[in-house]
């Protein structure tokens, strides 16, 4: 596991070197000679190629293991859907509401978010000053920078609450050590940036630019932001922009969202980490696949769905359940990772297979008897390797459909969100509902968006509005599959949620120390 622990530093180092050569640096005429092959913010933003490379540098942060590539999903392990496994004690402390300001994960989330913000700030400052470039690309690139800055600040506000707002003026004056701003102020900037992005971004892209954020991504993020603000009218307004635009239609099949070859032209995927089958210094480009894929199948298997979550699927909801969960006895196309079934594993689906080879999941190799399937695919050449062309969806149109449904229900009462809920259910092969209220909406979001880092933030905002009771939810132990050998065993005992402390993580102690006390710790930590 040393490789796993070190790869975060390898990735960050390599990315830092690349960006330093491209958009950063502060060298001031060493030896009074003109630097050769080195760029600074003063001499980099010269032309269209520089702008395109600079924007790609912002996107590259999304791949990082300790940021969107994986670590953000650790916070979702606080929910009732998934339990964490592996050798990272900080992951387990967060799941059990024992977070403290010195945890590694708590710290890593902060600098990578601000790295994304820093790169976006540079782009926002310098792109308007590039003397000659295509106007459409200038406009689009600014929109991407505003969107990606908004995305990072929105995540920061979800995890830490109040955080410092570093903007263009801070970059130009070098004034970075500033106090936290209120959550309202942070989300005010997110709103402003997303509105600018929505105005600047195109609705669609050609094949060469697939994966870039569009107008629909900005509208969808605005809808999500307004749901956190309980601004239901605005959520409906911007969410409806997505729903009514055929460029963002639901994919014909639910599984298209998580299938290599079906994602690239998928209108439903509004925002994603655009993973590719390539490596940097032998480091795979897709952290999400490594962390979520089963251990017997070349992954590290850190996240295991609970039986409570598996039970949430309706009996007829086989399409979404099969696309979401890997259960005992399941297999995945192109998986040639063959392992020997021992005597202790010969039960249930494996009866009669003692000593044989199989590509199926071994019961003894998972904590609960389940894995998330959405981030696991295998190379079609049969070499047994994970297929890192599998994209990592961060925002889908179905999420927006269900947010609009929720906003309508909470604004106008039961039944007012039936159209949006039933659009999602019809695609899953389910019968329509009538007069749906919040319990049906909560159920639908849980199964439609399972494993996509949505559940915990949904529960937090619903708890704040007294629509659910987190005390009740987290007081139920997390249990494994009812099949042998798990037999419904308790994996994580009952936990205690403390308000308002557990609504947010602590500010990393290292950040507070570096600020020399300018940044204050969150209450109750």
The arithmetic mean of pLDDT across residues 494-519, rounded, is 97
Whether the predicted pLDDT of 464 surpasses 50: yes
349 inside domain: yes
Reported confidence tier of residue 5, pLDDT bands at 50, 70, 90: very low
Closest CA to 515 of 200, 221, 177: 177
Longest dimension (CA), the chain: 78
Q: Name the more confident of 515 and 350.
A: 515
Given this model, what pLDDT does residue 353 score? 54
Rg value, the chain, Cα: 23
Given this model, what pLDDT does residue 332 score? 87
Q: How many domains would you assign to the chain?
A: 1
242 inside domain: no
The arithmetic mean of pLDDT across residues 447-460, rounded, is 98
> Mean pLDDT across the chain, nearest whole number?
88
450 inside domain: no
Q: Name the more confident of 284 and 43.
A: 43
| 13 phi, psi to nearest 5 deg | -65, -45
Given this model, what pLDDT does residue 158 score? 98
Closest CA to 238 of 250, 249, 227: 227
Instruction: Please tell me the distance from the alpha carbon of residue 493 to that of residue 477, in angstroms, as a whole number.
Output: 4
Whether the predicted pLDDT of 461 surpasses 80: yes
The arithmetic mean of pLDDT across residues 71-88, rounded, is 93
355 inside domain: yes
The arithmetic mean of pLDDT across residues 477-485, rounded, is 88
Closest CA to 471 of 89, 97, 100, 73: 97
Given this model, what pLDDT does residue 341 score? 58
Given this model, what pLDDT does residue 331 score? 78
DSSP state of 477: P
Supply the pTM of this predicted model: 0.90
Reported confidence tier of residue 359, pLDDT bands at 50, 70, 90: low
340 inside domain: yes
371 inside domain: yes
SS3 content of the chain, % helix, strand, coil (to 5): 50, 5, 45
* Enclosing domain of residue 330: 294-384
Given this model, what pLDDT does residue 489 score? 93
Given this model, what pLDDT does residue 208 score? 93
CB atoms within 10 A of CB 404: 25
Q: Could you tell me if 484 and 477 are in contact, meaning their C-beta atoms sit under 8 angstroms apart?
A: no
Share of the chain above pLDDT 90, in %: 77
Given this model, what pLDDT does residue 86 score? 81
Q: Could you tell me if 150 and 193 are in contact, meaning their C-beta atoms sit under 8 angstroms apart?
A: yes
318 inside domain: yes
Instruction: Please tell me the distance from the alpha carbon of residue 51 to that of residue 133, in angstroms, as a whole number.
Output: 9
Closest CA to 362 of 335, 334, 328, 336: 328
251 inside domain: no
């Amino acid at each position: 596991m040393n490789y796993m622990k070190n790869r975060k530093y390898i990735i960050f180092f390599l990315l830092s070197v690349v960006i330093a050569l491209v958009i950063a640096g502060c060298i001031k005429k060493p030896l009074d000679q003109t630097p050769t092959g080195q760029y600074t913010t003063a001499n980099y933003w010269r032309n269209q190629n520089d702008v395109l490379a600079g924007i790609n540098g912002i996107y590259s942060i999304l791949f990082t293991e300790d940021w969107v590539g994986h670590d953000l999903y650790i916070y979702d392990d606080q929910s009732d859907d998934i339990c964490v496994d592996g050798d990272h004690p900080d992951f387990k402390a967060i799941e059990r509401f024992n977070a403290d300001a010195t945890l590694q994960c708590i710290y890593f989330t902060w600098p990578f978010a601000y790295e994304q913000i820093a790169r976006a700030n540079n782009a926002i400052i310098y792109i308007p000053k590039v003397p000659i470039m295509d106007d459409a690309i200038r406009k689009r690139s600014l929109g991407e920078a505003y969107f990606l800055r908004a995305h990072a600040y929105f995540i920061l506000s979800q995890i830490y609450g109040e955080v410092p707002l570093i903007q263009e003026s801070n970059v130009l004056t070098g004034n970075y050590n500033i106090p936290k701003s209120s959550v309202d102020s942070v989300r005010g900037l997110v709103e402003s940036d997303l509105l600018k992005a929505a105005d600047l971004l195109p609705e669609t892209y050609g094949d060469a630019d697939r994966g870039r954020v569009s107008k629909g991504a900005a509208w969808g993020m605005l809808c999500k932001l307004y749901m956190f603000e309980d601004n239901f009218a605005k959520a409906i307004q911007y969410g409806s922009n997505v729903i009514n635009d055929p460029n963002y239609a639901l994919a014909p099949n639910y599984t298209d969202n998580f299938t290599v070859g079906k994602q690239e032209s998928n209108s439903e995927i509004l925002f994603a980490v655009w993973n590719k089958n390539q490596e940097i210094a032998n480091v795979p480009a897709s952290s999400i696949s490594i962390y979520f894929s089963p251990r017997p199948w070349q992954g590290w298997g850190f996240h295991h769905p609970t039986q409570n979550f598996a039970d949430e699927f309706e009996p007829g909801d086989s399409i979404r359940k099969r696309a979401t969960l890997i259960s005992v006895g399941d297999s995945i196309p192109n998986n040639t990772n063959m392992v020997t079934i021992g005597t202790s594993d010969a039960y249930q689906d494996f009866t009669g297979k003692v000593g044989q080879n199989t590509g199926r999941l071994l019961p003894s190799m998972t904590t609960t008897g389940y894995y998330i399937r959405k981030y696991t695919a295998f190379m079609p050449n049969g070499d047994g390797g994970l297929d890192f062309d599998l994209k990592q969806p961060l925002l889908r149109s179905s999420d927006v459909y269900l947010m609009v449904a929720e906003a309508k229900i909470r604004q106008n009462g039961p039944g007012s969100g039936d159209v949006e809920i039933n659009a999602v259910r019809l695609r899953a092969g389910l019968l329509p509902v009538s007069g749906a209220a919040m319990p049906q909406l909560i159920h639908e979001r849980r199964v439609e968006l399972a494993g996509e880092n949505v559940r915990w933030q949904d529960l937090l905002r619903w708890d704040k509005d007294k629509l659910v009771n987190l005390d009740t939810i987290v007081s139920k132990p997390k249990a494994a599959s009812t099949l042998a050998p798990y037999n419904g065993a308790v994996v994580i005992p009952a936990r205690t949620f403390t308000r308002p402390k557990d609504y947010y993580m602590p500010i990393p102690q290292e950040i507070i120390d570096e600020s020399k006390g300018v940044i204050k710790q969150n209450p109750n930590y």
